[in-house]
Each structure stands twice: as C-alpha cells, then as structure tokens.
Amino acid sequence: MSYQFKLEKIMNLKEREKDESVGEYNEAVKAFQEVGQRLYELLKKKEDLESVKHTQIRKKISISEIQQTERFIKSLEQSIMHVQQLVAQSREKMNVKEVKLVEKNIEVKKFERIKENQWNSHQESLKFEEKKLMDEISIQQYMHRGS
C-alpha cells in the first residue's frame, strides 16, 4: 500500500511561492544595500568637502573658492536628502518582502507538518494491518494444528 500525500500539488505550489519570495527578498536586500552604499559615499564625500572647506578657511583662500565649495556641499546635502528617502523606501520594501517571506515559510511548514502527520498515520495503519494479518495467520496455524 503506497502512500500518496493528497495535498502534494498544493504543497509544491506553496514551495514555489516561497522560492519566489526568497528571490524577491534577496533582490530587495540587494537594492537596499546599493542605495545604502550610495548614501555612505555621498556622506563621505560631504565629510571630505567639509574638511577641505576648513582647510581653505585656515589657509585664507579666496572667498569665491570657499563659496564654491559651500555650494557644492549644499548640492551634496540635497543629494543626501534624496538618497536618504530612497534608503527609507528601500528599507520599507525590504521589510514588506521579509514579512511576505515569513508568511510563505509558515505556509510551507504547515503543509510539511500535515504531510508528516499523515505519513505517521499511514505507517501506524500499516503496522495495525500487518499485526492483524499476523494474528489471523497465527489463528489459522493454531486451528490447522488443532484439527
């Protein structure tokens, strides 16, 4: 008596959905890391320019050069603000994908538990049938000897 899990097709579908969710989550993490790296680079560039500006002030460089550096810093600050928004959006998207992935994992685990429980039930049923058959054989042998 072979065992066939009745919900196998549904379980396979849930596993495929989970695999898709893993891919989507990994893509979201990668996008978040890339945007985070861009933000880091902009912040580092701003820090370097601030250092240059302080050096220019100490060396008494012309005001126009200091103003030019200041304008570039302001431009960088705008870029930083924009990228910070992108980081927040990427983080939110990543969190949504993570929640979806957790849900898909839970669904797959439920089906795995159902399958395991049904398999155990099937095994117990087989053992019971085997015991019953052995009892019948024993009774027949006993009856056959008795005659």
How does pLDDT run across 78-107, given as a tens digit for each residue?
A: 999 999 999 999 999 999 999 999 999 999
Average pLDDT over residues 11-40: 97
Residue identified by tokens 């980081």 is 87
CA 122 to chain centre: 34
pTM above 0.85, yes or no: no
We find that the CATH architecture of domain 8-146 is Orthogonal Bundle (1.10)
- Interatomic CA distance for residues 11 and 4, integer angstroms: 13
- Interatomic CA distance for residues 35 and 83, integer angstroms: 7
Angle between helices 63-146 and 8-58 (to 10 degrees): 160
